[in-house]
A and B are shown apart, each in its own frame.
Chain A
Amino acid sequence: MNTASPSKTSPNSRVLMRAHALTHPGAQFKEAITVADVMASKPVAMPLKLLDCCPVSDGGAAFVVSRERTGAMGIRVRGCAQAHTHQHVTAAPALSELGAEIAIARAKAASGVAISDVRYAAVYDSFTITLAMLLEDLGLAGRGEAAARVRAGYFGRAGAMPLNTHGGLLSYGHCGVGGAMAHLVETHLQMTGRAGPRQVRDASLALLHGDGGVLSSHVSMFLERVR
């Protein structure tokens, strides 16, 4: 439920996530879609339509955290922070004061990293509107500019800020906690140069953002590749 209008802001992000999913053998969805397909999909909870919503998926994700370096490249946590403002949506602060902005500000302070340092982004994308809001709250797009940046290719594999190159929750799939863990798995593959045909030019510094509840609980993390 939201006072913003996703029909104006976000079908493009679903099309982008689907395009990314087509390049991942493990993705749930294998067919390309258009903005017209998103707009023509059946209504679920207006203004959200079926293709604005992540699927209900079976699946899983796994990663191993080791103290010792396992290869030529390692990944270091530069800084991490969280914010929890509410649980039920009736207790949420104003849309302009959500926890993502608090978490990212704290993570920047803890790490000394600026958004302009980030080369790869992994952002929770349960619904098209969630992704648009988080991109703007995190500073990956200006207020009201997320849709234009998606359309311009900014978040594509070859764009300035590759985003969820596995297809995200929206198209790779959302199997609960494992769905969000897949963002981290993909980030690690990108950062260590093992993403195969999805490999981006430079994923030396990544931003992960997770969101739980109803925009309730937020965690922002900066990861850095070390040699």
Chain B
Amino acid sequence: MSGKLADWTSGAEAILYQSCGACGRAQYFRRSFCAACGAPDVVEKSASGTGTVYATSLVCRAATPETRAHIPYNILLVDTREGFRMMAHGDNDLAIGDQVVAGYRSFAGRLVPYFEKRK
């Protein structure tokens, strides 16, 4: 059995997604089947970390005491090169349509993907 890939949700500097062996669709949330066509043969892959900003919202009110030190912080929806959309952190001056690349930072004690403008 091959080793299981690790991603940021378990502290590793990586973004994983699933690719459908039947229809080719990419999905971010892990499931045992393809959400588009229902095929059971989804394959876990590592994403490039590049994409385009689809939406942004600058959070100015902390949702929890642990996040208070971070405000204001930007929450993004990023359309990745691989074809799935993900929510992530990023620079506060990012705008819709910006080409971005993922790094990793600590947020409220956890490692999270953090997007910056691609140079």
* Residues from chain B with Cβ under 8 Å of A34 in the complex: none
Contact check, B58 vs A45: say whether CB atoms are below 8 A apart.
Answer: yes
> Counting CB contacts under 8 A, is B8 at the interface?
no
Q: Taking CB as reference atom, which chain A residue is nearest B58? A: A46
Q: Taking CB as reference atom, which chain B residue is nearest A43? A: B60
Contact check, A3 vs B61: say whether CB atoms are below 8 A apart.
Answer: no
Contact check, B57 vs A90: say whether CB atoms are below 8 A apart.
Answer: no
* Residues from chain B with Cβ under 8 Å of A48 in the complex: 57
Contact check, B60 vs A90: say whether CB atoms are below 8 A apart.
Answer: no
Q: Taking CB as reference atom, which chain B residue is nearest A1? A: B57
> Counting CB contacts under 8 A, is B47 at the interface?
no
Interface of B is mostly: strand
Contact partner of A42 (CB less than 8 A), chosen from B28, B59, B60, B84, is B60
* Residues from chain A with Cβ under 8 Å of B87 in the complex: 88-90
Could you tell me which residues of chain B, from 39 to 74, have a CB within 8 Å of some CB in chain A?
Answer: 54-61, 72
Contact check, A90 vs B28: say whether CB atoms are below 8 A apart.
Answer: yes
Contact partner of B86 (CB less than 8 A), chosen from A42, A46, A47, A90, is A90
Q: How many chain A residues touch the partner (CB < 8 A)?
A: 14
Q: How far is the CB of A138 from chain B (nearest CB, A)?
A: 23
* Residues from chain A with Cβ under 8 Å of B59 in the complex: 44-46
CA gap between A3 and B56 in the complex, in Å: 7
Contact check, B54 vs A3: say whether CB atoms are below 8 A apart.
Answer: yes
* Residues from chain A with Cβ under 8 Å of B107 in the complex: none
* Residues from chain B with Cβ under 8 Å of A64 in the complex: none
Contact check, B96 vs A3: say whether CB atoms are below 8 A apart.
Answer: yes
Q: Taking CB as reference atom, which chain A residue is nearest B27? A: A91
Contact check, A45 vs B55: say whether CB atoms are below 8 A apart.
Answer: no
Contact check, A43 vs B61: say whether CB atoms are below 8 A apart.
Answer: yes
* Residues from chain A with Cβ under 8 Å of B60 in the complex: 42-46
Contact check, B77 vs A89: say whether CB atoms are below 8 A apart.
Answer: yes
Contact check, A90 vs B61: say whether CB atoms are below 8 A apart.
Answer: no
Contact check, A90 vs B85: say whether CB atoms are below 8 A apart.
Answer: yes
Could you tell me which residues of chain A, from 26 to 44, have a CB within 8 Å of some CB in chain B?
Answer: 42-44
Contact check, B75 vs A1: say whether CB atoms are below 8 A apart.
Answer: yes
CA gap between A43 and B72 in the complex, in Å: 10
Q: Taking CB as reference atom, which chain A residue is nearest B28? A: A90
* Residues from chain B with Cβ under 8 Å of A44 in the complex: 59-61
CA gap between A132 and B75 in the complex, in Å: 22
Q: How far is the CB of A46 from chain B (nearest CB, A)?
A: 4
CA gap between A46 and B54 in the complex, in Å: 15
Which chain A residues have a beta carbon within 8 Å of chain B's beta carbons? 1-3, 42-48, 88-91
The 4 closest A-B pairs by CB, nearest first: A43-B60, A46-B58, A1-B57, A90-B85
Task: Show 24 residue pairs from A and B whose CB-CB distance is below 8 angstroms, ordered by the A residue.
Answer: A1-B56, A1-B57, A1-B75, A1-B77, A2-B57, A43-B58, A44-B59, A44-B60, A45-B58, A45-B59, A45-B61, A46-B59, A46-B60, A47-B57, A88-B29, A88-B87, A89-B87, A90-B28, A90-B77, A90-B86, A90-B87, A91-B28, A91-B29, A91-B85
